[in-house]
Structure 1
Amino acid sequence: MQKIERLLAITLLLQTRGKMTAQRLASILGVSARTIYRDIDALSLAHVPIAMDYGPGGGYYLADHYHFDATVFTREEAVSLVLGVDMAGNYSLFADDDGLHRALFKLEAALPEEYRADIQAAREHILFDTTAWEDDGTTGAFLERIRHAVLTGHRLDLLYPWTTRQAMPALRWLRVDPYGLVYKGLTSRQVRTGVWYLVAFCHASQQVETFRVGYIQDLRVRQERIQPPPNFDLQIYWKETRHHLAEQEQPLTATLRVKAAARHRLRGNYTVLREEADGSVLIRVQQESLQEAVAYVLSLGSEAVVLSPARLRAAVLTTAERIAALYREEVKDASNF
């Protein structure tokens, strides 16, 4: 978001929502509180009457006499904004909340009549079919609770496949202080898709880590309140992290031989390369990362064998050996009772 767009967004937020803190504005707009302070100064220099209440319940607000004129939008900008919200589909961060659309209705009502006619015409002639996005799993079952914890500053416990240098990922409860959420778009030939990440201080590693929301298996919101360090900037952190993250989660194409008994369990983006006389198939399947590819293969049990790549074969073998060792220990412990 460019600065002029951000200044406009701050003005609209203060007008529609009333008093807001710099931290709240920063979390909504995805910038640091320091950036919001600079933006408020810029708005004041532009004679936008923003005032500040200090202490508990305080925040920035617009003078009662000030009203933002929605006609500042051009005709093309108004149509683009409305269609952009329509296209967002189920990518809203606020689960089961139509606040975005309510805000849009308010904006449309404030636009000139001729703009509303253009918007109606655009909606009649441009359609966004988002049904393919409904089950893409990008948001994760816990996104709404994580969002709330990020904005209210509540500590979290996550059940997450945690990786150490000595072993493959294993489920473990981790205590974290949530600092922010990031939505990263992914390239796909089939559908528009992406992944949510939680950026949080991890007590186990004693550093800021990036957690993929879709990998979280369980979640507990704790009563303890946290405050991100004043020098932490989510945008700077993400710029430094995303290149390393991309290396870890490179898309992977695997070739599997799947027995006939498991063909009904095949899912996702796969292509049948060859069918054998015994009913088994040779398939090529696309996965977003090595970790997801391992989970996919293991979900097929002993009815699937990885033919390539070699690193996936090795990862499946290592994970299966760890699972077997875990069950041997459980059986041994059970026999002692």
Structure 2
Amino acid sequence: MRATRLVSLLLLLQSRNRMTAQELADALEVSVRTVYRDVESLGAAGVPVYGEPGHDGGYRLLDGYRTRLTGLTADEAEALFLTGLPTAAAQLGLAAETATAQLKLMAALPAQLRERAGRVADRFHLDLPPWYLGTEPIPHLAPIAAATWEQRSVRIRYERWAEPNEITRTVEPHGLVLKAGNWYLVARGEERFRTYRISRVLDVDVLPQRFERAEGFDLASHWESYLEHFDRRRHRGTAVLRLSAQGLERLTQLLEPAVAAARKTTAGPDAVGWTEVEIPVESVEAAVPELLKLGADVEVLAPAELRAAVVRTLRAMSRTYGL
């Protein structure tokens, strides 16, 4: 365990140039005191690691020092090919580069690892877009990705749902997210972060000025927080439903996970096996078509506005079918 940690510490310093004891402790999930001991052990073993005092100080390796402890294990070689995203690479304009990089990596692997990695590539394929939905046109993805990588501001013309529908903003792209086959840009503008669906970008100009990334910004953490806040903002009300046993089972299959997971059972099954539950809803207009997916296995008890909307829809359907 300690040997693995020492190797990880060494590779962190090699890849990030300089890190403080606290940064190393956070990355390795140990105490700062443990980092001090591990650095002393590396020095005693002949690794040229030294500390720089001061606010901008930290630990670093002697310039030019490289470890040879970078060989891949069998599991690492397999996992590396599981992370391949050919569709995303093609959308970013990197399909040829990705294919070449994979060939170079395969050629560099020992024969045994090369066979195992190739076997994973033959047996697993990641297809990101959801069923029955085509891939959105994203002509502006490549320049936005380039600006994100080079830390250059962009001026985008963007189509949104709110009024005014078309806006123009100058933003600092901090990251790209691929979610359910759709690309999103996380960018800072006017001292706050916003998320833009790249398929709705109508035009983009990459500006010459560079920007400094927000200190401590972590894309994965920001996105997770964004999704949590998005669901809270979107689900502005609740609905009380009465569900048959089959309806209760199908609720998790037909409705979105955020709704299904948040449902609260308010009463046990009644004499005929129906259960009363409470779920969050976005709006009456959005809830009606979702609840109709459950057919006759659901009865809306509250709010009255939602129940009335379901009744109006059912009456209109009856007229359409001449019932």
TM-score by length of 2: 0.50
TM-score by length of 1: 0.48
Larger radius of gyration: 2
